[in-house]
Chains A and B, each alone.
Chain A
Amino acid sequence: MKTATADRPRRLLIEVVRGVLLALITVWTLFPIYYMLVLSFTPTAELFRPEYWVKNPTLESYRFIALQGSVFVKFFWRWMANSVLVAALTMLAVLVVASLGSFALGRIRFGGARFISGMTLFTYIIPASFLSIPFFKIMGDYDLLDTYWALILAMTTFASPYALWVLWDYAKTIPPEIDESAAIDGAGYFTIFWRIYLPLVLPTLIAIGTYAFFFAWNEYLYAVLFLQSEQMFTLPISMGTFLTGDEAPWNLLMAVSTIYAIPPVIFYYVFRRYLTHGLVSGAVQGT
């Protein structure tokens, strides 16, 4: 081992390098977000004269949104309601599908368990866009285009696998003897599921429910494919339509972006432990 005095300049150097690195990463991480906020407070008159900060910050864009005072945000509150509705129903559906499925996999040791777990893993990994065109065709055949159901079905299909893996992982830590003793008392699987399993996995249910909610909240491709009339748009679709015109009011768009981004950001920070937890034991969420 070297002596402390010889070590000191080297350690100082490491500290400086690390400090510079951390500062660089901070700027790199925050700049696009900072700039989104800057634009959302920029008055239209200054939009086409770029600056590093806002000289005359204004709430003009947010007022437009709240009062639906521009064609680009004509149905803002309706779009917001659509987004919430689709996300909430997806959440419910995912909770039902994933809790039932994880119970089957984790608590009923049956012959098909291997097949089912492989199937969910497959669904989890395959890129959703690869299935989009036939999916669109099916929804057309069943007359479900331009309804919430189409989007909810798609989101439930793609969000359930990860939800199931997280739940299943947790369910494995519950000792099987609990079910066995309940079975001795004459409880069937449905009673065990309802009375014992669900209360035990409740904290995880809350986490994966919120995950499913924002999975649907964030979706763009399937939303654009399925919801076509303006009244049916979710927020991301409406944001995409800004790009069609030449004179897009980008400050307004960034204000919509800011409002739209706040709920999921809060969620990720509250639940980030759960969201990365499932990975090391098997499943990954992200791109």
Chain B
Amino acid sequence: MANAVARGRGFNGRLLGRSLSTAAGALNPTARNLYGYLFSLPLIVLFLAFVVYPLYFEATQAFDRYTYEVLFSDPIYVQTVVNTIVYVGIAVNTKLFLALLLSGVLQADTRGVRFLSAIFLLPWAIPVLPGILSIRWMLSSQWGIMNLIMEDLGFGSVHWLASRWMAIGALIVFHIWKYLPFWTVIFLAGRRGIPRELYEATAIDGAGGLQNFRYVTFPMLKGLYLICTLLSMVFTLGDFTNVWLLTGGAPGDSTHVLATLAYRYTFLMGKIDWGVGVFATALPVTLLFIFILIKKIK
């Protein structure tokens, strides 16, 4: 409706504007620049103070060799880098692949699907804490529901969060549970944007579901899929909350990711330069990803 209003006014505006040509554009460029910067001033101040300065602070730390000697010789740091790569690599890619498939299922417009698409959004809508805390209790080895299920199915109980890879596995599963809905909706929107004529054309050639996917859907969604992958990887690279509240780095600091390790160094051990160093080592890759993304999105 708002769009219709805007369009209606636009019509009037055009009538008025035509006779008197581009009077507003007549404002000289210097004045326009002045006003442009004036209106963006709050944004620029926030950016300089809280994005540029922190990055500068971290980058200057990057020249302190001693910090790196400490980090690279700390086995927990090395483990953390491995954990982060595994977590980001597996969680993001599994999630996006499932989202791509699922968006195909949800594209059908039946009653069941409509019902599902509504409840399917819940994990995304719920803040991260209730979700992760609920899962943490579910995985409690003594009192959790998962072990009740395991026992009822005839398996023994499992110490879910007591070993490094089981805990990281749980983290990956939670990540998929929480963020799959969002990306599915994104791909669903992408699929809806594909012109129907393309499918009609392949139908004439006798293409089935799989061929449709291979020759129409995937090529059309490839760009979006790549952007989503990069974006989700960068976001997940900085994950703190999920890891901190599910494992807290336990058992024995073996399940840290970058952000939780930096937190541990800085706030639990009082070594701020180590904490900053953790992020500084991840900056080159992160910035590279970000610049590729900005180029692709703009």
Q: A282 in the interface, Cβ–Cβ < 8 Å?
A: yes
Instruction: Check A103–B39 contact: CB distance below 8 A.
Output: yes
Total A-B contacts with CB atoms under 8 angstroms apart: 332
Q: Are the CB atoms of A39 and B137 closer together than 8 Å?
A: yes
Contact of A32 among B20, B50, B134, B239 (CB under 8 A): B134
Q: Are A113 and B121 in contact (CB-based, < 8 A)?
A: no
In whole angstroms, what is the CA distance A121 to B25 when docked? 27
**A200 contacts across to B, CB distance below 8 A:** 2, 5-6, 9
Interface size on A, residues (CB 8 A): 112
Chain A interface, DSSP helix/strand/loop, else mixed:
helix
Q: How far is A260 from B3 in the complex, measured between Cα atoms in Å?
A: 34
B297 to chain A, nearest CB (A): 5
A127–B234 CB distance below 8 A: yes
With both chains docked as a complex, state the minimum distance between the C-beta of A241 and any C-beta of chain B, in angstroms.
11
* Given A127-B235, A129-B240, A130-B286, residue A36 in contact with residue B108 (CB < 8 A): no
State whether the Cβ of A156 lies closer than 8 Å to any Cβ in chain B.
yes
* Minimal Cβ-Cβ distance residue in B for A282: B297
Q: A125-B293, A173-B3 are in contact. Are A217 and B24 (CB under 8 A)?
A: no
**How far apart are the CA atoms of A126 and B151 in the complex, in Å?**
44
A268 touching B121 in the complex, CB below 8 Å, given contacts A32-B138, A137-B57: yes
Report how far A171 CA is from B256 CA in the complex, Å: 43
Pick the contact of B133: A110, A121, A180, A257 (CB < 8 A).
A257
Given contacts A25-B120, A175-B9, A287-B179, 8 further A-B contacts (CB under 8 A): A36-B133, A110-B36, A127-B239, A133-B58, A156-B46, A178-B9, A257-B129, A280-B186
A interface, CB within 8 angstroms of B: 18-19, 21-22, 25-26, 28-30, 32-33, 35-36, 39, 47-52, 96-97, 100-101, 103-105, 108-113, 116-123, 125-138, 153-154, 156-157, 160, 164, 173-184, 189, 193, 200, 202-204, 214, 217-218, 220-221, 225, 236, 239-240, 242-243, 250, 253-254, 257-258, 260-261, 264-265, 267-269, 272, 276, 279-280, 282-287
